[in-house]
């Protein structure tokens, strides 16, 4: 920017786009981005794709685009690290004055970018894109997603906003803050919420994927939800303390009662059913408790190794142009 205040200079906006087997969608996405005009906002766009270990023609398409277009770059990861890691790679390499992570399937509509940039120009540090309806998602996905937000926000803090995905504009200083968070298991929605900053919102209707298939099935989403919860809350651990008291205190009372009764009246042998029920119930509780403990221990173990979040095989950033 050569010392010129940002408000007068042309700002660079980097779109960070993780792609995993998206040979059908990338050309459509690039056409849509090419249509965008941000001159009146004194901004220009560049696109930084992150190839997340695709096994189709994605990488060669990206290489071709990078050679032909002066606003396209790509990072090629050494294997599939998952969307969160791919997004992290993109955010760490992006050079824009503002950065926007977005999906390649046009479910995050590029038309919204002008609004976001305008809000950013007005002083917002983060501009969230909120989905006003999710009719394009299946009923199951909508219901489970809303349960997830409810449970997560009940147990974890800070709360993550409902109906907001990864699609958002972040000012350079927000991106720098994100880069400082050291954890290697990255639940981006939670990290975005954690760093805070002044936030504005724009809204949109989520449409269907333009081409290709979703990469997230039910099992992946379930694990993703667990990841989010355990990353941002230790309440599941604490629940066991309370449950322990809840079981132990009545047990103590009951124990005193039995001992007294045995002393005063003598013991009667029956009691098999209640004995077995108590053993099974407590055994089950203990196993669940150990499972929850294990979940956190496992996370601690993985974090302790301190492995990098992703490995880059090849990196071609968009050429820097003097604005």
Give dist(CA 250, CA 239) in Å, integer: 17
Among 28, 215, 292, 295, contact with ligand UDP (rule: CB under 6 A): 215
Beta sheet of 11-19, edge-to-edge order: 199-205, 126-133, 164-171, 98-101, 11-19, 43-51, 72-77, 312-316
Q: Which does 93 bind (CB under 5 to 8 A by kind): ligand UDP, Mg ion, none?
A: none
Q: Does 152 bind ligand UDP (CB under 6 A)?
A: no
Q: CA 101, 105, 110, 115 torsion: positive or negative? A: negative
Distances (CA, A) of 85 to 73, 196, 226, 274, 298: 18, 21, 17, 51, 19
User: Binding pattern to Mg ion, positions 198-237, x when CB under 5 A?
Assistant: -----------x----------------------------
Q: Does 199 bind ligand UDP (CB under 6 A)?
A: no
Q: Which is nearer to Mg ion, 108 or 227 (CB)?
A: 108
Closest distance of CB 142 from Mg ion, Å? 14
Q: Which residue has the tokens 């990072």?
A: 75
Q: Which is nearer to ligand UDP, 20 or 74 (CB)?
A: 20
Q: Does 107 bind Mg ion (CB under 5 A)?
A: yes
Q: Which is nearer to Mg ion, 107 or 230 (CB)?
A: 107
User: Binding pattern to ligand UDP, positions 72-101, x when CB under 6 A?
Assistant: --------x-xx--x---------------
Rg (CA), the chain: 26
Q: Does 104 bind ligand UDP (CB under 6 A)?
A: yes
Closest distance of CB 213 from ligand UDP, Å? 7
Q: Does 146 bind ligand UDP (CB under 6 A)?
A: no
Q: Does 24 bind Mg ion (CB under 5 A)?
A: no
Neighbouring residues of 247: CB distance < 8 A, sequence distance ≥ 6:
282, 285
Closest distance of CB 92 from ligand UDP, Å? 15
Question: Segment near ligand UDP (CB under 6 A), from 13-21, 114-122, 266-274, 303-311?
Answer: 13-21
Give dist(CA 195, CA 198) in Å, integer: 10
Q: CA 4, 170, 50, 183 torsion: positive or negative? A: positive
Give dist(CA 212, CA 19) in Å, integer: 12
Closest distance of CB 216 from Mg ion, Å? 8
Among 22, 76, 105, 108, contact with Mg ion (rule: CB under 5 A): 105
Closest distance of CB 298 from ligand UDP, Å? 21
Neighbouring residues of 242: CB distance < 8 A, sequence distance ≥ 6:
none
Write the DSSP assignment of 91-147 as a string of letters. HHH---SEEEE--TTSSS-TTHHHHHHHHHHTT-SEEEEEEEE-TTS-HHHHHHHHH
Contact 255, 200 (CB under 8 A): no
Query: Where would I find the H helices in 1-57?
Result: 25-35
Q: Which does 86 bind (CB under 5 to 8 A by kind): ligand UDP, Mg ion, none?
A: ligand UDP
Q: Where does this chain bind ligand UDP (CB under 6 A)?
A: 18-20, 22, 52, 80, 82-83, 86, 103-105, 107, 209, 214-216
Q: Where does this chain bind Mg ion (CB under 5 A)?
A: 103, 105, 107, 209
């Amino acid at each position: 920017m050569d010392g010129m205040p940002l408000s007068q200079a042309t700002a660079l906006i980097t779109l960070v786009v993780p792609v995993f087997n998206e040979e059908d969608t990338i050309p459509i996405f690039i056409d849509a981005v090419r249509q965008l005009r941000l001159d009146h906002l004194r901004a220009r766009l560049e696109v930084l794709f992150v190839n997340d270990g695709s096994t189709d023609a994605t990488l060669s398409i990206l290489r071709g685009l990078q050679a032909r277009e002066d606003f396209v770059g790509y990072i090629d990861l050494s294997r599939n690290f998952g969307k969160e890691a791919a997004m992290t790679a993109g955010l760490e390499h992006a050079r824009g004055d503002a950065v926007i992570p977005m999906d390649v399937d046009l479910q995050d509509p590029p038309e919204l970018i002008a609004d976001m940039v305008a809000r950013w120009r007005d002083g917002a540090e983060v501009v969230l894109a909120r989905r006003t309806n999710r009719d394009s998602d299946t009923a199951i996905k909508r219901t489970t997603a809303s349960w997830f937000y409810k449970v997560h926000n009940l147990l974890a803090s800070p709360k993550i906003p409902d109906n907001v995905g990864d699609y958002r504009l972040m000012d350079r200083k927000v991106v720098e803050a994100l880069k400082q968070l050291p954890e290697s298991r990255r639940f981006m929605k939670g990290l975005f919420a954690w760093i805070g900053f002044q936030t504005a919102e724009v809204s949109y209707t989520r449409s269907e994927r333009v081409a290709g298939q979703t990469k997230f099935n039910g099992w992946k989403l379930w694990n993703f939800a667990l990841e989010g919860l355990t990353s941002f809350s230790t309440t599941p651990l604490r629940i066991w303390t309370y449950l322990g008291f809840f079981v132990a205190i009545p047990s103590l009372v009951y124990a005193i009662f039995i001992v007294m009764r045995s002393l005063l009246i003598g013991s009667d042998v029956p009691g098999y059913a209640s004995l077995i029920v108590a053993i099974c119930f407590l055994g089950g509780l203990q196993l669940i408790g150990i499972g929850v403990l294990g979940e956190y221990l496992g996370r601690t173990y993985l974090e302790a190794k301190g492995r990098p979040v992703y490995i880059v095989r090849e990196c071609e950033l968009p050429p820097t142009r003097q604005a």
